[in-house]
Protein backbone atom coordinates (compact mmCIF):
# COMPACT_ATOMS: atom_id res chain seq x y z
CA UNK A 1 0.00 0.00 0.00
CA UNK A 2 1.28 3.44 -0.96
CA UNK A 3 0.02 6.42 1.01
CA UNK A 4 -0.08 9.96 -0.32
CA UNK A 5 -0.69 12.59 2.31
CA UNK A 6 0.28 16.11 3.39
CA UNK A 7 2.26 17.43 6.33
CA UNK A 8 1.45 20.32 8.67
CA UNK A 9 4.00 22.56 6.94
CA UNK A 10 2.19 22.07 3.62
CA UNK A 11 -1.19 22.85 5.22
CA UNK A 12 0.19 26.03 6.82
CA UNK A 13 1.68 27.14 3.47
CA UNK A 14 -1.62 26.56 1.66
CA UNK A 15 -3.61 28.42 4.33
CA UNK A 16 -1.16 31.35 4.18
CA UNK A 17 -1.40 31.55 0.36
CA UNK A 18 -5.19 31.39 0.41
CA UNK A 19 -5.38 34.20 3.00
CA UNK A 20 -9.03 34.95 3.88
CA UNK A 21 -10.09 31.85 1.88
CA UNK A 22 -8.04 29.53 4.09
CA UNK A 23 -11.18 27.50 4.88
CA UNK A 24 -10.78 26.05 1.37
CA UNK A 25 -7.38 24.53 2.26
CA UNK A 26 -8.73 21.00 2.92
CA UNK A 27 -10.48 21.00 -0.47
CA UNK A 28 -7.29 22.21 -2.21
CA UNK A 29 -5.23 19.49 -0.53
CA UNK A 30 -7.86 16.82 -1.27
CA UNK A 31 -7.83 17.61 -5.01
CA UNK A 32 -4.03 17.81 -5.13
CA UNK A 33 -3.60 14.51 -3.26
CA UNK A 34 -6.12 12.70 -5.49
CA UNK A 35 -4.47 14.00 -8.67
CA UNK A 36 -1.08 12.91 -7.31
CA UNK A 37 -2.44 9.41 -6.58
CA UNK A 38 -3.62 9.05 -10.19
CA UNK A 39 -0.23 10.22 -11.48
CA UNK A 40 1.58 7.84 -9.11
CA UNK A 41 -0.47 4.86 -10.28
CA UNK A 42 0.26 5.73 -13.91
CA UNK A 43 4.00 6.06 -13.18
CA UNK A 44 4.04 2.77 -11.27
CA UNK A 45 2.46 1.00 -14.26
CA UNK A 46 4.93 2.62 -16.68
CA UNK A 47 7.93 1.71 -14.53
CA UNK A 48 6.68 -1.84 -13.94
CA UNK A 49 6.29 -2.30 -17.71
CA UNK A 50 9.88 -1.16 -18.19
CA UNK A 51 10.97 -3.88 -15.78
CA UNK A 52 8.58 -6.80 -16.27
CA UNK A 53 7.09 -8.41 -19.39
CA UNK A 54 3.41 -7.97 -18.37
CA UNK A 55 0.61 -6.02 -20.05
CA UNK A 56 -0.22 -2.66 -18.43
CA UNK A 57 -3.92 -3.45 -18.15
CA UNK A 58 -3.18 -6.11 -15.57
CA UNK A 59 -1.40 -3.55 -13.39
CA UNK A 60 -4.23 -1.00 -13.69
CA UNK A 61 -6.83 -3.59 -12.67
CA UNK A 62 -4.75 -4.67 -9.69
CA UNK A 63 -4.12 -1.15 -8.33
CA UNK A 64 -7.09 0.59 -6.74
CA UNK A 65 -7.00 4.16 -5.48
CA UNK A 66 -8.88 5.14 -2.34
CA UNK A 67 -9.31 8.88 -2.79
CA UNK A 68 -8.72 11.49 -0.13
CA UNK A 69 -11.69 13.42 1.25
CA UNK A 70 -11.82 16.82 2.92
CA UNK A 71 -12.15 14.98 6.25
CA UNK A 72 -9.40 12.45 5.54
CA UNK A 73 -6.57 14.02 3.54
CA UNK A 74 -4.87 10.79 2.55
CA UNK A 75 -5.12 8.80 -0.67
CA UNK A 76 -3.92 5.22 -0.85
CA UNK A 77 -2.93 3.05 -3.78
CA UNK A 78 -3.54 -0.56 -2.89
CA UNK A 79 -2.19 -3.31 -5.15
CA UNK A 80 -3.90 -6.67 -4.86
CA UNK A 81 -3.57 -9.96 -6.65
CA UNK A 82 -2.32 -13.49 -6.43
CA UNK A 83 0.89 -14.96 -7.74
CA UNK A 84 0.76 -14.82 -11.53
CA UNK A 85 1.26 -17.84 -13.74
CA UNK A 86 4.31 -17.83 -15.97
CA UNK A 87 1.92 -17.84 -18.94
CA UNK A 88 1.05 -14.20 -18.05
CA UNK A 89 4.60 -13.27 -19.05
CA UNK A 90 6.46 -13.93 -22.30
CA UNK A 91 6.50 -17.62 -23.21
CA UNK A 92 7.64 -19.28 -26.42
CA UNK A 93 5.70 -21.01 -27.83
CA UNK A 94 2.76 -19.08 -26.39
CA UNK A 95 0.12 -21.65 -27.31
CA UNK A 96 -0.33 -25.32 -26.63
CA UNK A 97 1.32 -27.56 -29.24
CA UNK A 98 0.93 -31.33 -29.48
CA UNK A 99 2.36 -34.17 -31.52
CA UNK A 100 5.00 -33.24 -34.09
CA UNK A 101 4.30 -29.52 -33.58
CA UNK A 102 5.42 -29.79 -29.93
CA UNK A 103 8.64 -27.80 -29.41
CA UNK A 104 11.82 -29.31 -28.02
CA UNK A 105 12.12 -26.62 -25.35
CA UNK A 106 9.72 -24.04 -23.90
CA UNK A 107 11.34 -20.73 -22.98
CA UNK A 108 10.06 -17.91 -20.79
CA UNK A 109 10.97 -14.39 -19.76
CA UNK A 110 9.76 -12.41 -16.73
CA UNK A 111 12.20 -9.47 -16.59
CA UNK A 112 12.71 -7.28 -19.66
CA UNK A 113 16.44 -7.16 -18.89
CA UNK A 114 17.74 -10.54 -19.93
CA UNK A 115 16.84 -13.16 -22.45
CA UNK A 116 14.45 -16.06 -22.69
CA UNK A 117 15.30 -18.87 -20.28
CA UNK A 118 14.90 -22.55 -21.09
CA UNK A 119 12.48 -24.38 -18.81
CA UNK A 120 14.06 -27.80 -18.62
CA UNK A 121 15.31 -29.70 -15.60
CA UNK A 122 17.31 -32.70 -16.69
CA UNK A 123 15.07 -34.78 -18.93
CA UNK A 124 11.91 -33.06 -17.65
CA UNK A 125 10.71 -30.48 -20.15
CA UNK A 126 8.15 -27.77 -19.57
CA UNK A 127 5.13 -27.47 -21.84
CA UNK A 128 2.04 -25.31 -22.31
CA UNK A 129 -1.22 -27.06 -21.48
CA UNK A 130 -4.91 -26.26 -21.18
CA UNK A 131 -6.73 -27.65 -18.14
CA UNK A 132 -10.35 -28.82 -18.20
CA UNK A 133 -11.33 -25.51 -16.57
CA UNK A 134 -9.99 -23.67 -19.64
CA UNK A 135 -7.00 -22.27 -17.76
CA UNK A 136 -3.79 -22.27 -19.85
CA UNK A 137 -0.50 -22.67 -17.98
CA UNK A 138 3.15 -23.57 -18.36
CA UNK A 139 3.73 -26.83 -16.49
CA UNK A 140 6.34 -29.51 -15.97
CA UNK A 141 6.09 -33.12 -14.85
CA UNK A 142 7.60 -33.87 -11.43
CA UNK A 143 8.94 -37.24 -12.50
CA UNK A 144 8.88 -39.73 -15.33
CA UNK A 145 5.17 -40.54 -14.84
CA UNK A 146 2.39 -38.39 -16.29
CA UNK A 147 1.28 -37.00 -12.94
CA UNK A 148 1.83 -35.06 -10.77
CA UNK A 149 2.72 -31.85 -12.58
CA UNK A 150 3.80 -28.48 -11.25
CA UNK A 151 2.60 -25.16 -12.60
CA UNK A 152 5.22 -22.45 -13.11
CA UNK A 153 4.45 -19.09 -11.52
CA UNK A 154 6.13 -15.77 -10.85
CA UNK A 155 5.60 -12.69 -8.68
CA UNK A 156 2.25 -11.13 -7.88
CA UNK A 157 1.54 -7.57 -9.02
CA UNK A 158 1.78 -6.20 -5.44
CA UNK A 159 5.23 -7.77 -5.17
CA UNK A 160 6.31 -6.28 -8.53
CA UNK A 161 4.98 -2.80 -7.69
CA UNK A 162 6.47 -2.81 -4.19
CA UNK A 163 9.85 -3.98 -5.43
CA UNK A 164 12.19 -1.50 -3.74
CA UNK A 165 14.99 -2.12 -6.23
CA UNK A 166 13.04 -1.94 -9.44
CA UNK A 167 9.72 -0.05 -9.37
CA UNK A 168 8.65 1.84 -6.24
CA UNK A 169 12.13 3.23 -5.53
CA UNK A 170 12.12 4.95 -8.92
CA UNK A 171 8.61 6.40 -8.58
CA UNK A 172 8.76 7.42 -4.88
CA UNK A 173 10.69 10.73 -5.35
CA UNK A 174 8.26 11.85 -8.08
CA UNK A 175 5.26 11.46 -5.78
CA UNK A 176 6.35 14.32 -3.48
CA UNK A 177 7.36 16.51 -6.45
CA UNK A 178 3.99 15.94 -8.11
CA UNK A 179 2.14 16.65 -4.87
CA UNK A 180 3.85 20.04 -4.51
CA UNK A 181 3.06 20.92 -8.16
CA UNK A 182 -0.55 19.84 -7.77
CA UNK A 183 -0.98 21.86 -4.57
CA UNK A 184 0.33 24.98 -6.34
CA UNK A 185 -2.02 24.33 -9.29
CA UNK A 186 -5.05 23.94 -7.01
CA UNK A 187 -4.14 27.09 -5.04
CA UNK A 188 -3.95 29.05 -8.32
CA UNK A 189 -7.40 27.74 -9.32
CA UNK A 190 -8.93 28.88 -6.04
CA UNK A 191 -7.26 32.29 -6.28
CA UNK A 192 -8.59 32.62 -9.85
CA UNK A 193 -5.23 32.37 -11.61
Shared domain check, 42 and 68: yes
**Residue span of the structural domain in which 38 resides:** 2-83+157-190
Q: For position 192, what pLDDT does the model report?
A: 85
Do residues 93 and 106 lie in contact, with contact meaning Cβ atoms separated by under 8 Å?
yes
Note whether 9 and 22 are same-domain residues: yes
pLDDT tens-digit profile of 33-74?
999 999 999 999 999 989 899 877 888 889 999 999 999 999
Provide the number of structural domains found in the chain.
Answer: 2
Whether 8 and 65 share a structural domain? yes
**Strands 153-156 and 107-109: what pairing?**
unpaired
Rounded Cα distance between 12 and 18, Å, is 10
User: In whole angstroms, how far apart are CA 190 and each of 17, 37, 58?
Assistant: 10, 21, 37
Are 93 and 119 part of one and the same domain? yes
pLDDT in tens, 169-184: 889 999 999 999 999 9
Statement to judge: residues 165 and 150 lie in one domain: no
Tell me the per-residue pLDDT of 99-155, one tens digit each, with 9 for 90 and over. Answer: 788 888 899 999 998 899 999 888 888 999 989 998 899 999 888 888 899 999 988
147: Cα separation from own chain's centroid? 35
Instruction: Say yes or no: 150 and 163 in one domain.
Output: no
141 and 185 in a single domain? The answer is: no
Do 41 and 62 share a structural domain? yes
35 shares its domain with 121 = no
**Does the pLDDT of residue 156 top 70, yes or no?**
yes
pLDDT at position 57: 80
Same structural domain for residues 67 and 139?
A: no
- Residue 149 pairs in a beta bridge with 141
Which 3 state secondary structure label does DSSP give 193?
coil
Residues 19 and 73 in one domain: yes
Regarding whether 77 and 8 lie in a shared domain, the answer is yes
Q: What is the pTM of this model?
A: 0.82
Amino acid sequence: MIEITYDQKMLATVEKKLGNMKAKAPDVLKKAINETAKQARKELVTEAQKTYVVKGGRFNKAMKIKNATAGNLEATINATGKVMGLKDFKVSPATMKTGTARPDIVKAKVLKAGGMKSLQKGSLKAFVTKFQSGHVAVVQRRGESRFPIKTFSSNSIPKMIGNEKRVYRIVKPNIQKNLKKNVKKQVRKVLGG
